[in-house]
Amino acid sequence: MNKYSVSKSAVKTAIARLGLTKTQAQNVLPKYAQGAAFVWSLDSTSGSQAVYDNYNERVRLVITENGTVLDVFPIDYALQSPHNLSEEVCQSLKESTKKTLIAKRDEIHRKWCEAELAFHENSYEIAKVRFGLIDANIEEAAALSSRLADLCADNKELHQDRSALRKERTELERALVPYI
């Protein structure tokens, strides 16, 4: 679990934008960062920064590479007030965000399907090797056992990959909910 710190400006913006007290902001912002999902990277002169969304709390955070929360605002901050953007711009922004999220979700889904297929192909190979071990002599059994160990290690990695992709796809689907 990453350790997050909070900048003074993030505390001030949390007070103004989220209606928190100073103490609440200092305590809650690291928790928001813990539950946040990566959205996109920002290039800046002060180092690497990225935007993260905490969908449960409906906040967007700007976090540095070293784990400092620099800024915070509601996910739909630009859309909250009619004074911020015109209706046409709001609709355009919502549509483009929706299309982008759908495209990213579909890309991740395709990768997940490929990982799922590779996992099951590897599982099939494991089953074939185990079946071969039943009637193998001692020399063949040693070679098959070595092959089985390699396949099982590969299977573990493939399982972790497909689980990570499934988690990422689920997060993208949750992000899509407000736009549907």
Q: For residue 78, what are the contacts with CB-CB under 8 A and spacing of at least 6? A: 84, 85, 90, 93
pLDDT (0 to 100) of residue 164: 93
What is the percent of the chain with per-residue pLDDT over 70, rounded to a whole number? 87
Q: Would you kindly state where each structural domain of the chain is located, as residue ranges? A: 5-75, 87-179
pLDDT in tens, 11-35: 888 888 888 888 888 888 888 888 8
pLDDT digits (tens, 9 = 90+) for 42-71: 655 455 777 788 888 888 888 888 888 888
Distance CA(17)–CA(12), nearest Å, equals: 9
- The answer to whether domain 5-75 has CATH 3.40.190.10 is no
**Which of 79-83, 87-91, 94-98, 101-105 shows the lowest per-residue confidence on average (mean pLDDT)?**
79-83
